[in-house]
Amino acid sequence: MGFFARAFFVPEEDGTYYIAVGAGSQDPDGTGRYTLSLRVDDYPDDFRANPGPVLLPGESVAGVIDSDVSPDDPGLKQWDWAASDGEGVPVLGVESLDDRDVFIFEISEAGTYEISVSDGPAEVGIWSVLNSHSWVHSDYPRTGPAESVVSEFEPGTYYVEVGTPYLSVGNTGSYTVSLEEVADDVEDAAAA
């Protein structure tokens, strides 16, 4: 898993669980110190351990953001909001101290779609939209999260990262993520 690694799991039943720690290929000497910690997740809405539901066009899903973290919180690390699972699936800081939520959506027909965030804290929005190998939308250069993203999508599986500005305070609450196909007449009017 690498340095500053994280693992998430949902126990299927009460009992004893074991964690194996090793140096792997990142530290061929295999020596050194590390810290291991375990915590119960207060906001399991992000589906990292249980990747569902899959959002389809015309559907909405509710989420909860827990981004009420002070910029000087000793537990806040920059890498809390950027991670990878090594399998080509983006895992973008789900359940970090400065919470980001990742939802899956699928497109079956190529076209223009709008993914949007509504009914949430003032600064909650979309940080990025990705497929398994590239960004469809990104906040770079860090301008802050968008309320919606309209883009051309080919058939496939995509991921939308929802959050509030990094190091934000006072942004905790529920919100709604929606995916809609943009009608051809709306596209034609926008092009005129």
Residue range 19-59, pLDDT digits in tens: 777 665 555 666 677 777 776 654 444 544 445 578 899 99
DSSP 109-171: S-EEEEEEEESS-TT-EEEEEE-SSSEEEE-TTT---BSEEEEEE-SEEEEEEEE-STT--S-
42-191: CATH topology is Jelly Rolls (2.60.120)
Q: For residue 147, is it left (φ>0), alpha (ψ between -120 and 50) or beta?
A: alpha
Instruction: Answer yes or no: is pLDDT of 177 > 50.
Output: yes
Rounded-to-integer distance, Cα 159 and Cα 131, Å: 6
The pLDDT assigned to 48 comes to: 46
The pLDDT assigned to 25 comes to: 58
Print burial letters for 88-122: b (CB count within 10 Å at least 16), e (below 16): eebbbbbbbbbbbbbbbbebeeebbbebbbeebbe
Q: Tell me the C-alpha to C-alpha distance, in Å, between residue 182 and each of 81, 90, 175, 176.
A: 30, 25, 22, 18
Instruction: Answer yes or no: is pLDDT of 112 > 90.
Output: yes
The pLDDT assigned to 65 comes to: 79
Closest CA to 102 of 73, 141, 131: 131
Q: What is the widest separation between alpha-carbon atoms in the chain?
A: 64
Closest CA to 162 of 103, 104, 82: 103
**Poorest-pLDDT segment among 12-16, 47-51, 135-139:** 47-51
Bigger pLDDT: 92 vs 59: 59
Q: Are 127 and 139 in contact (CB under 8 A)?
A: yes
The pLDDT assigned to 171 comes to: 74
Q: What DSSP designation does 46 have?
A: G
- Has this prediction a pTM greater than 0.85? no
The pLDDT assigned to 159 comes to: 86
Work out the percent of the chain whose per-residue pLDDT is above 90.
Answer: 15
